[in-house]
Each structure stands twice: as structure tokens, then as C-alpha cells.
Chain A
Amino acid sequence: MESSTEQARNVMQSPRSPSSQPYLSASVTDPVKLGNGVQAYISYRVITKTNLPEYQGPEKIVIRRYSDFVWLRDRLFDKYKGVFVPPLPEKSAVEKFRFSAEFIEMRRAALDIFVNRIASHPELQQSEDLRTFLQADEEFTFLFQTMERFRFQETGIFNKKPADFMQMFRDVQSKVSDAVLGKEKPVEETTPEYEKLKHYIFELENHLAEAQKHAYRLVKRHRELGQSLLDFGKAVKLLGACEGEPTGKLFSDLGTKSELVSIKLQKEAQQVLMNFEEPLKDYVRYVQSIKEINLDKLMLTRSDKVGEAEIEYREMKAESEEATIRFERIVKRMNEEIVRFQEQKTEEMGVAFHQFAKGQARLANGIGDAWRALLPKLEAASSA
């Protein structure tokens, strides 16, 4: 079952294009539950198809688990500042325990989208970490997990001075509290453009979260309506059993139809969840991940405000200039990313809307047809 966003890939991803054209595509498939009890986890097959020289062969298959994807994202996030690194599906420690089929499939689909977005991003697709992720055999996975614990660093821990550690801790603290409180710390050196973007992102998240909330509720409503029709159908059938003809048979038919309609609703509920609510949720995640970038940016600008006695004036000035250059580069990247992001989102949401509308129309037509089939008999009985 292909997700809607896979179709939005650029030509480079299609393995069917002429071999001279470079392509890279990946798919996340075959979720398998491994381990027992608390330590149970899902492993996925990641299949890479490419003709790029940096990669081993036209096809490579590796086994990865959720934490491996987290590692990849964190690496990309650290290295490619300003880039909108695609979001991951939530950790949801609770659901993990139950590992329902629905949850597993939704996670698989989301991870698939994640990898493909990276593979189709002009900068990210060239990442060495991506290559590692897609190619490295299983022995490397322990390394991924170890490195995840130190993900707030850029270079190895052994190159840092004690003062840097202090600053890093302080920054992590502020980053965490910002994330927790959802607040923005006032920063002097920002552009009005940046402020506008920040405002847009924050507002957008609120609106999207609300829409997603209602979309999720709508899925539930489909299920509830389906259930109530099922119960109603059963009750009506029992009632029919008490009555003579023709009422008895009619009640029985009514009950059967009610049960049929109930099934249609349950099916549609699933569709709405996968093709409408999930894309909305993905949109929300995306926006939230963009918010994270902002905080990171703040971290950079703040690092030159450190008034530690150990850092000499010369160093400070050099660092400050470096920071400004980095900052400007990041802003430039972000502006490009915004354009890309908006276009991508319009496409993806358009597809989601279209599928939702089609699904609802199909459902309503199906329901109408089902009930309509009863009318001839009801008419006949009325005029008798």
C-alpha cells in the first residue's frame, strides 16, 4: 500500500527512469516483532535501490529499528542546520507495549515517508550518515544506539573544554525548558523576516493541531456510528423474530442492512485514519520540528554572549564572526527550505483532501445504495 506522498517524489527516485539518470529510493517494509515483554521491539526491512556510485550495488537490504531512525534524524539535524529535516513518528512508549497492527502499520508508513523525504532532499540525500544508515550492516547498530545518548554534541566529547561543557549544559537546560514551557526567549539579533516566520510557524501549529484533533475525533465518530448501527441491527432483528409477517421479515432485512452499513463505516474509519488524519498529524510534526530549529538557532547566537573569564577577547571576536556567518547561512537555507516546504505541503495536503472527499463520497453512496435496496419491499408492504 503506497502512501500518498511517495507519489510526490521527484524523477530521481524512480528506479524505472533510464539508467543514466541518477536515482535513489528506499522503502521501509516487513515489520517484525522481536524480543519479549518490556524489551520487545519492531524491526523493519529497509530496501535501497540506487545507481549512485557512493552506494553498494543497485539494491541493498538492511534491518533497522525505530531508535536507528532516531539516530539518523539527530545526526542530520545537527549537521544540516537550517534544513527542515523530516519529522519522525512519535515515540509513544505506551502504545509500543501493545503493538497493535494498526500502530505498527502507521509507524511503518511514517518511517517510509521519512526516509524517502530525506532521499529526495537535494542536500540531505548526499549525507554520509544517510549512506551509513542505508548500507551499514547490523554490527553497526549498537554504535548507533550508543551515539544516540550523546546526541547533543557535534564533535566528540573529548575535544571540548570544561567551559564548553558548562555552556552546553546551560544551553541544554534552556532548550529543554523552552521546549517544556513552549516559550521563546527574547533575542536581540533577529530579523523582522525571521520574526514573521516564527510567528507564522507557531500560529500554524495551533491551527493544524486543532484540525488534526477533530480529524482524529472524526475517525472515532465513524467507528461509534458503525458500532451503534451494528447493535441497532441486531436489536431490530430480534424484534422481528417476535413479529409475524410481513413485519418480521422486514425487520430482519432492516437489521441485516444496518449491519452492512456498519461495516462500511468501520472500513471508512480506517481510511480516514490512514489517509487524512495521519497526513495532518505529519503536518503538525513537521511544523513542530521546524520550531526546534529556531531554538537551535538561538543556541548558536547565545554562545557568543558567554562572559566566562577563561575565554580571551580574541577568541571571542573570532567566534562571534564565525557565528554570524553560520547564522546567515542557516537563514538562507531556511528560506529555501520554506519554499520547498510550502510546495510539498500543498501537494501532500491536496492529495489527503482529495482522498478524504472521495472516501466520504464513496461511503455516502454506499450507504445510500444499501438502504435503497430495502425500499421496493417496504413500498410493497405499505400498499398491501
Chain B
Amino acid sequence: MMGSENDDEAHLHASTEDMENLFLRDDKSNSDPLSPHPITVATPADSDPLSASPQSKPNGGDSRSYIEPPSYADVIFSPFDDNSEINGSDDTHSSDYSLSRSPSSSVSSDYIKITVSSPQKEQETSTSMLSGGGTYITYLIATRTNLPDYGGGSEFSVRRRFRDVVTLADRLAESYRGFCIPPRPDKSVVESQVMQKQEFVEQRRVALEKYLRRLVAHPVIRSSDEVKVFLRVEGKLPLQASADVASRMLDGAVKLPRQLFGEGGGVEPARGGRDLLRLFKELRQSVSNDWGGSKPAVVEEDRDFVEKKEKMHDLEQQIINASQQAETLVKAQQEMGATMGELGLAFIKLTKFENEEAVFNSQRARANDMKNLATAAVKASRFYRELNSQTVKHLDTLHDYLGLMMAVQGAFADRSSALLTVQTLLSELSSLEGRAEKLEAASSKVFGGDKSRIKKIEEIKETIRNTENAKNVAIKEYERIKENNWSEVERLDRERRADFLSMMKGFVVNQVGYAEKIASVWTKAAEETSQYDRESS
């Protein structure tokens, strides 16, 4: 499913490619665009770079070169963040996000692959006041996996709309507080009005695919009920949609006394729960999600945590920067290839012209020289384009981690809000206890007791007991989230280390491979024109 933009670009490339192909057909070119060659990237077992002599000039099919020309040699280059048409190939660097991506995991035979495709318009059936009679888009979400959690080897697919994804994300945020949950795609209401419908749908499809793939890359979240249900259960998504953050907080708050009193099932707030609900509503106001720009309501005393948070912030900044520079690099590589190709074509035309108009032998000789140059330029141009499409895949890792850094932010925010809950309950407790003390002191002054005051004291003591329990539960929750935070950050650091290493290696191997190919093309052209060598060396 490609937007119209990509089609135009494809057509443009097609005609340029045709001209090049016509020209190169007689020439025994290295890369036959029709023969299927899967991309192979050198792994440690395949070739030791130290043993391969730096002087080796690989021709087509030479196994010492690092990268074979891919079957789609006339690859149509697409924008930096759009990998969709490359997903169909068998290359190992696709955005599969399967387990094999991180070398730190030992079980490399497990996989789960998700594809999002075939957007479809559907009619709103319910007569809800919100949408009554409108249309919405659904996407086909196909899963292929051999994870035991999903019942061994299986394939299944469901249709989901974007609203379902929002629900899934919200549910996960509640259930996995403290975890680094990948952020879901934006709702972007404005964009949907401004963009062309087709373009918007395609953009959303890509974003959904990326999101779901990231979700199932998470070792814990992939096994969650929410995700399983989302991927497997056909028809209406059986997850309760949360209306807003407030009730999400309320849900969480309500859980506490339920857990405490061992009550199951019902959603009725327990005794004293009403006060708690009010408390939490107020709490919601003071939770700030930024990185400490405004004065935080929570008092963070854990030095390690503060340090870690700052480090994460720095890291995020640098990843943003590197990601931007990577985009610029990719554009520059693209332009180099394009201009080299245009130069080649210009010389092809000159060659034809001189041959047609030739009166003197010197003209024919020159036409021949031009042909050699043109051939080299056209081939080099192709290599640049291939180099670039590979570079995109490797450096995309940087782009991915931007999303993951946001997930870390979310995890840290969960922790902060949990701590805030604890601190608020503590201060509430101390103020309640203060009030109780005052009442007792006042009531003791009245001889024989003060019936109304005593009743009040009883009520306050009840509230204190509930608040005390809530505080204990909140502390447990906070500790639990802290644990999650810690293990998640550890995991992320490990994975990031591995992913970045893999990215660097892939990038460098790619550069080396194509540099060799391009060098061989020009060396040949230099040999063909060696009669014009005028240097004394």
C-alpha cells in the first residue's frame, strides 16, 4: 500500500533506470538486476576482515566482498522513516524486532512477527451519541509466532481500529506502571483533516505496525493479557476503554482498599473509599510529567534515581541530535548517487552524439572514453543508492530509540506519581492525627465526655485507619514500581548497548562493502583511460 507520492517517485526512477539499463545491457555489468540475491551481511563466522586483503577488488559474485548486490538493485529509495516496501525481503536487518535482534538473548529461534495492512473503511453501526453514522478505518493485524504463550506455532489475524489501539495503550499503562512501555502513535486529529486521506491512512498504518512490533519486542508486555487479547480476539475488543486519566487514577485508587480487604470483583468503592477518591482527584493535578522543568510536587530523595534521570535526559538529547545528523547524512548520500547518475546519463548522451556526428577518429576515440566514464558513473550511482538504503536501515536504530526514551520517561513518571501518592497520604495522615489529638485534648477537658466530639473522634480514627492502610498499600505499590523501573532500565541499557553495537557494525560493514565496489568500478575506468596518464609517479 503506497501513497501516490511514492508512485510518482517510482515512475521517475523507472524511466531513469530504463535508460541506464539500455545502456548497460551490452556492457557486462557486475550487478544483474534480475538475478535474485539475498542480502548477506558478514557475520563473525563468515569473513574475518583482518584476513581479507585491503587490496582485493571484488567483482560480481566475489565472496570476499561484504555485501552482495540485492535482488532489487534498482531499489526505489523512500523517505527516511518509511521502511514499508523493504519489509517484504528476507534481509536480516528488517524492522522485525524479533528476538534475534538483540544478541544478549540466547533463545534466537523464538519469533513473533506482526504485519499491519489493508486499511478498510467501515460504517459505524452503534447509535452512540459520539459518532452516530460516521465511518472509520480498520486495519488488518496479522501475527505469526511460535511463542509458547500464544500456543506454539500459529498464525492469526484480527481487524482493529485506531480507537482500539488507544484502549490497549491505556490499559497497558495502568497494568504496567514503572515499565518502559513504548509510546503509542499520536491521535493527531489536526493532521487527519489536513493531509490527503490516503497519505494519512498509510502513515498511520506504518506507525501502528512500528508500535505493535515494539510492544511485542518487550519481554514482559508481549505476554500480557492485554496484548494477547488485542492480537487474537476477533470482533469487538474486549478491553474496557478508559475515558480519561482521572478515572484511570480512580480505578487504581479503588484497587487499593479492594486488595486490602480481599474484596474481589465489584467496582464499588469500599468504606472510606470516597475520601480516597477525592484525594486522588486532587493528586492528579499535581503529577507533572516533564523532566523537572517546573517545580516538582514530589520530593525525590533518592540520589541514584535523580542521577539516573538526568543521565537519561542527556542521552535522549544526544540521540535526538545523532538521529537528525543521520537524516542529513542519508540525504547527502542520496544526492551524491543521484548527481553521479545524472552525470553518467549526460555523458551517455554525449557519447551517442559524438558517435552519430563523428567525422574524425579523434571524435570516435573521445566517444569511447566518454562511454567508459559514463558506465562507471552509472554503476557508481547505483551503488550509492544501494549503500543508502542499507544505511537507512542501520541508522534507523537511532530513530527507534527516540520512541524508547519516551517510554523511559513514562516509567519514571509512574514512579514519581506513586511516590507523590505516598507522600500525600503521609501528609494527610499526619494532619488527620493532628486533628484527632486536638479533639481528644479538647474533649478531655469536658467532664464526663463530650458526646458529639467523641463521635467525631471515632470517625476520624476510622479515617486514619483507612488512610494508614492506603498508605501501606501505596508504599508497596511504590516499591513495586521502583523495582519495575530498575529492572526495565537495566534491560534497556543492555539492549541499547547491543542494538547500538549492532547498528555501528552494520553501518561500518555497509560502508566498507560499498566503498570496495565503487572503488573497483572507478579503477576499471582508470585502467581503460590509462593511456592518458600524465603523472610522473
Cross-chain contact B526 with A357 (CB below 8 angstroms): yes
Cross-chain contact A211 with B343 (CB below 8 angstroms): yes
Contacts of B507 in A (CB 8 A): 254
Contacts of A365 in B (CB 8 A): 515, 519
Cα-based distance from A242 to B322 in the complex (angstroms) = 12
Cross-chain contact B522 with A353 (CB below 8 angstroms): no
Asked if A218 lies at the interface with its beta carbon under 8 angstroms from chain B, I say: yes
Contacts of A353 in B (CB 8 A): 369-370, 372-373, 525, 529, 532
Cross-chain contact A354 with B526 (CB below 8 angstroms): yes
Asked if B311 lies at the interface with its beta carbon under 8 angstroms from chain A, I say: yes
Contacts of A211 in B (CB 8 A): 343, 346-347, 350
Cross-chain contact A214 with B343 (CB below 8 angstroms): yes
Residues 349-363 of A, flagged 1 when their CB comes within 8 A of B and 0 if not, give 111011011101100
Asked if A328 lies at the interface with its beta carbon under 8 angstroms from chain B, I say: no
Asked if B305 lies at the interface with its beta carbon under 8 angstroms from chain A, I say: no
From B103, B343, B508, A215 is in contact (CB under 8 Å) with B343
Residues 207-224 of A, flagged 1 when their CB comes within 8 A of B and 0 if not, give 110110111011001101
Residues 493-535 of B, flagged 1 when their CB comes within 8 A of A and 0 if not, give 1000100111011011101100110110011011011111110
Contacts of A346 in B (CB 8 A): 362-363, 365-366, 369
Cα-based distance from A200 to B318 in the complex (angstroms) = 57
Cα-based distance from A45 to B353 in the complex (angstroms) = 41
Interface residue ranges of A340-374 to B (CB < 8 Å): 342-343, 345-347, 349-351, 353-354, 356-358, 360-361, 364-365, 367-369, 371-372, 374
CB-CB under 8 A for A218 and B512, given A239-B322, A354-B530, A364-B519: no
Asked if B221 lies at the interface with its beta carbon under 8 angstroms from chain A, I say: no
Asked if A19 lies at the interface with its beta carbon under 8 angstroms from chain B, I say: no
CB-CB under 8 A for A238 and B318, given A247-B501, A378-B505, A379-B49: yes
Cα-based distance from A263 to B520 in the complex (angstroms) = 22
Give the distance to chain B from A240, nearest Cβ to Cβ, in Å.
9
Contacts of A7 in B (CB 8 A): 534
Interface residue ranges of B285-333 to A (CB < 8 Å): 311, 314-315, 318-319, 321-322, 324-326, 328-329, 331-333
CB-CB under 8 A for A229 and B363, given A207-B350, A235-B322: no
CB-CB under 8 A for A210 and B336, given A343-B362, A346-B363, A349-B369: no
B373 and chain A: residue at smallest CB distance: A353
Asked if B376 lies at the interface with its beta carbon under 8 angstroms from chain A, I say: yes
Cross-chain contact B504 with A214 (CB below 8 angstroms): no
Asked if A376 lies at the interface with its beta carbon under 8 angstroms from chain B, I say: yes
Cross-chain contact A358 with B362 (CB below 8 angstroms): no
From B318, B373, B497, B533, A235 is in contact (CB under 8 Å) with B318
CB-CB under 8 A for A382 and B44, given A232-B326, A361-B526, A372-B54: yes
Contacts of A382 in B (CB 8 A): 44, 103, 501-502, 505
Residues 239-262 of A, flagged 1 when their CB comes within 8 A of B and 0 if not, give 101111011001100100000000
Cross-chain contact A378 with B508 (CB below 8 angstroms): yes
Interface size range of chain A in the complex: 35 or more
Cα-based distance from A375 to B366 in the complex (angstroms) = 42
Asked if A381 lies at the interface with its beta carbon under 8 angstroms from chain B, I say: yes
Asked if A4 lies at the interface with its beta carbon under 8 angstroms from chain B, I say: yes
Cross-chain contact B518 with A207 (CB below 8 angstroms): no
From B319, B322, B518, A364 is in contact (CB under 8 Å) with B518
Contacts of B314 in A (CB 8 A): 242
CB-CB under 8 A for A229 and B329, given A357-B525, A378-B504: yes
Cross-chain contact B362 with A345 (CB below 8 angstroms): yes
CB-CB under 8 A for A243 and B315, given A346-B363, A361-B526, A369-B54: yes
Asked if A331 lies at the interface with its beta carbon under 8 angstroms from chain B, I say: no
Cross-chain contact A221 with B54 (CB below 8 angstroms): no
Give the distance to chain B from A364, nearest Cβ to Cβ, in Å.
4
Contacts of B362 in A (CB 8 A): 339, 342-343, 345-346
CB-CB under 8 A for A372 and B518, given A350-B529, A357-B376: no
Cα-based distance from A100 to B214 in the complex (angstroms) = 53
Contacts of B512 in A (CB 8 A): 368, 371-372, 375
Contacts of B333 in A (CB 8 A): 225
Cross-chain contact A224 with B332 (CB below 8 angstroms): yes
Asked if B243 lies at the interface with its beta carbon under 8 angstroms from chain A, I say: no
Asked if A203 lies at the interface with its beta carbon under 8 angstroms from chain B, I say: yes
A342 and chain B: residue at smallest CB distance: B362
Give the distance to chain B from A226, nearest Cβ to Cβ, in Å.
8
Asked if B335 lies at the interface with its beta carbon under 8 angstroms from chain A, I say: yes
Cα-based distance from A367 to B322 in the complex (angstroms) = 21
Asked if A204 lies at the interface with its beta carbon under 8 angstroms from chain B, I say: yes
Cross-chain contact B515 with A364 (CB below 8 angstroms): yes
Cross-chain contact B336 with A232 (CB below 8 angstroms): no
Cross-chain contact A342 with B363 (CB below 8 angstroms): yes
CB-CB under 8 A for A360 and B518, given A221-B332, A235-B321, A354-B533: yes
CB-CB under 8 A for A247 and B353, given A242-B311, A353-B369, A364-B519: no
Cross-chain contact A371 with B373 (CB below 8 angstroms): no
Residues 216-230 of B, flagged 1 when their CB comes within 8 A of A and 0 if not, give 000000000000000
Name A residues whose Cβ lies closer than 8 Å to a Cβ of B: 4, 7, 200, 203-204, 207-208, 210-211, 213-215, 217-218, 221-222, 224-225, 227-229, 231-232, 234-236, 238-239, 241-244, 246-247, 250-251, 254, 338-339, 342-343, 345-347, 349-351, 353-354, 356-358, 360-361, 364-365, 367-369, 371-372, 374-376, 378-379, 381-383
Closest 8 CB pairs of A and B: A368-B515, A364-B519, A361-B522, A350-B532, A354-B529, A357-B525, A357-B526, A228-B332
Name B residues whose Cβ lies closer than 8 Å to a Cβ of A: 44, 48-50, 54, 103, 311, 314-315, 318-319, 321-322, 324-326, 328-329, 331-333, 335-336, 339-340, 342-343, 346-347, 349-350, 353, 357, 360, 362-363, 365-366, 369-370, 372-373, 376, 380, 493, 497, 500-502, 504-505, 507-509, 511-512, 515-516, 518-519, 522-523, 525-526, 528-534
Instruction: Taking A208-B350, A247-B501, A364-B515 as given, write out 5 further A-B residue pairs in contact, using a Cβ cutoff of 8 Å, ordered by the A residue number.
Output: A221-B339, A242-B314, A349-B369, A357-B528, A379-B505
10 contacts across the A-B interface (CB closer than 8 A): A207-B350, A235-B321, A242-B314, A338-B360, A351-B534, A353-B370, A357-B526, A357-B528, A360-B376, A364-B516
